[in-house]
Chain A
């Protein structure tokens, strides 16, 4: 068993204590890697190099493995997301109801591709593999809020609201 003395927190940012708490709850077991990365992502919004290193060291996991896990799962993001995030569902039901067109329109309007953030850091355009609200397809999430049977006009007004804020 690796010793249960974690390395010092990277900074006195309170969020590291939350991350450390998750690891402690799992007894600093190696298997807590994914759970811990979830905590980092929900606290910081993304996984930066510093965070992955800290988690790997704390859990005695090779850095290569931690990086491998962080890049394997789509849920984890290694770049800082924009202030607002618009997530277009690309599940089958949404695809059948024309989500591709919505996505194309958004890409054009924002001048970015899916998975990217506008240069001013205001809006990230993401896609999801089905959010399970297929009964209301096509679906998008605007800052986590679910919009069902969404139209391009609705998205346009949401984007305009964000542009002013």
Chain B
């Protein structure tokens, strides 16, 4: 395979598409599928066949705006149709080229116009299980370019230049990590893709794997070439059956086209990928725990150093990156590191995909350039809080992150500014809360999560989270005193400082950030036995708001 052959494949796909007057893309992501978009697609195909229309009905991945699903995208008009039902199939086809029915039109300019799609550039536009459609949108150009025109060190150089940082939440410079693994001396090295998206409220990785799996495979292959690995693993949650099946099919396709296997693109480079299923343990998102899990053991983390870059899977140097990080790699190789570095702001380059959920109008997946104001995401793209309620806080970073209050909505979204605000980037969950949410209860919710997900290896996390959860329960039930609050704050410090891995070290964050911005609510619960949001039921005195 060389660039010319790639162009031939692309040309034949384009020629196929030319035969059709219209392309009708039907979202078959988990969100829309749960509203039977597969039946809608079948009906559309039936109508097209009956009418003998020159229309290509295509199964695609997520189009982002889950709130308006099931979604259908009509090309070349680029007209998005919302809440499409089986009964609308006839109307959709007859209105092609004309203005669609009013109720189906989805014209949320403010939602789409501010987004910049790099990772999601193909989502909702290609059939995820057809590799040729990926190639037709410049897929595998990056890999072929890397293998035929660049040395591994040049690839690392491009990634370093791009300023790409880990999208799993930590924000470690990707180029630096690749460089370390590349320099490690070993016959065998591994590349692992972390798709254990355990952070509740986040579904970016699921969506990328469902909508554009080839992009992740290409990113991994480029990484393997850069660091000198010949074996890769994708660790995916078992809770994502659709992502697993699409990825399995895509691996097969990639092998068929010669992008995986031996002597890829006629070079001495060999690489293949296996899937490993997660089994429902949040802690396995931590890299050393994930490695233990691939080795077939309990997913407990170990002390670092040595970092996986020096000693990872089976003691060999291992590169481990998140799904979204790998998904950013192909366009960087294609367009150059400088192109990527031009997007974003300060030390946070490129774009970030967020899963915008909770009490917000336009729930779904959004991709924005780093440095965008939080307000523009929540109020602009997200459309604000529905039902006339008022915005209270936005939670980022999952159980490791924190809640950002209304007065800080004007901060820019970057790794540094979110940490400064007491939260973190995390993997990209963004959950909006209105005045019906009790912040103490939210803190308790996350603490309960950390308590059950603690692997039990180190005592500060194992015992500390239990005690903190108990204290938070006491506060929520109106049984707590001010001494309990002091003890809670004290414990937060201990667990943060003394825990072994990220799970424990960040478990106090939701408590600390809500205490920082919503201390009055804690006081209300303790002193007045009152929950102003009306969420907590007070056992003491029996008073609720």
Contacts and interface: CB of A to CB of B under 8 A. Distances in A.
B201 interface: yes
Contacts of A86: none
B280 A75 contact: yes
Contacts of A83: none
B242 to A, nearest CB: 9
Interface string A53-96: 00000000100010011001111100000000000001111011
Interface of A: 29-35, 37-38, 61, 65, 68-69, 72-76, 90-93, 95-97, 128-137, 139, 145-148
A129 B198 CA distance: 8
B131 interface: no
A136 B32 CA distance: 9
Nearest to B399: A92
A97 B358 contact: yes
Contact of B299 (A72, A76, A91, A131): A72
A34 B355 contact: no
Interface string B294-305: 111111000000
A92 B296 contact: no
| A-B residue pairs, 5 tightest by C-beta | A135-B66, A91-B200, A73-B279, A92-B201, A75-B280
Contact of B34 (A33, A93, A148): A148
Contacts, number: 141
B224 interface: no
A3 to B, nearest CB: 19
B189 interface: no
A38 B237 CA distance: 12
B429 interface: yes
Given A75-B238, A129-B449, A135-B203, 7 more contacts: A69-B297, A72-B299, A92-B429, A92-B446, A135-B69, A135-B355, A137-B363
B395 A92 contact: yes
B364 interface: yes
B73 interface: no
Contact of B31 (A32, A33, A135): A135
Contact of A92 (B200, B282, B364): B200
A137 B364 CA distance: 11
B398 interface: yes
A65 B297 contact: yes
B215 interface: no
Contact of A33 (B239, B277, B296): B296
Interface size class of B (residues with CB under 8 A): 35 or more
B452 to A, nearest CB: 8
B30 interface: yes
Nearest to A145: B34
B293 interface: yes
Interface string B172-210: 000000000000000000000000011111110011000
Interface in B348-365: 355, 357-359, 363-365
B276 A35 contact: yes
A91 B201 contact: yes
A64 to B, nearest CB: 11
Nearest to B449: A129
26 contacts: A31-B294, A33-B296, A34-B277, A38-B238, A68-B298, A69-B297, A74-B281, A75-B278, A90-B200, A92-B200, A92-B431, A93-B201, A93-B357, A96-B433, A97-B358, A128-B239, A129-B282, A130-B201, A130-B239, A132-B202, A133-B30, A133-B34, A133-B66, A134-B363, A137-B358, A146-B30
B239 A131 contact: yes
A72 B33 contact: no
A68 B200 CA distance: 25
Contacts of A145: 34
B445 interface: yes
A102 to B, nearest CB: 15
B357 A137 contact: yes
Interface in B238-287: 238-240, 276-282
Nearest to A37: B279
Contact of B445 (A68, A95, A147): A95
Contacts of A31: 294-296
Given A34-B277, A93-B431, A96-B433, A134 B296 contact: no
A5 B143 CA distance: 42
A136 B449 contact: no
Contacts of A128: 239
A73 B431 CA distance: 26
B9 interface: no
B203 A133 contact: yes
A93 B67 CA distance: 13
Contacts of A75: 238-239, 278-280
B162 interface: no
Contacts of B357: 92-93, 96, 134-135, 137
B66 A136 contact: yes
B279 A92 contact: no
A133 B453 CA distance: 21
B198 A30 contact: no
A97 B67 CA distance: 14
Contacts of A92: 200-201, 357-358, 395, 398, 429, 431, 445-446
Nearest to B277: A38
B461 to A, nearest CB: 15
Given A96-B437, A133-B203, A146-B34, A73 B281 contact: yes
Contacts of A61: 296
Contacts of A32: 296
Contacts of A90: 200
A158 B66 CA distance: 24
A74 B200 CA distance: 15
B272 to A, nearest CB: 14
A134 B279 CA distance: 20
B280 A129 contact: yes
Contacts of B433: 96
A92 B357 CA distance: 9
A46 to B, nearest CB: 13
Most chain-A Cβ atoms within 10 A of its Cβ — which of B239, B280, B296, B437? B296
Contacts of B281: 72-74
B114 interface: no
A50 B293 CA distance: 23
A63 to B, nearest CB: 14
A30 B30 contact: no
A129 B200 contact: yes
Nearest to B446: A92
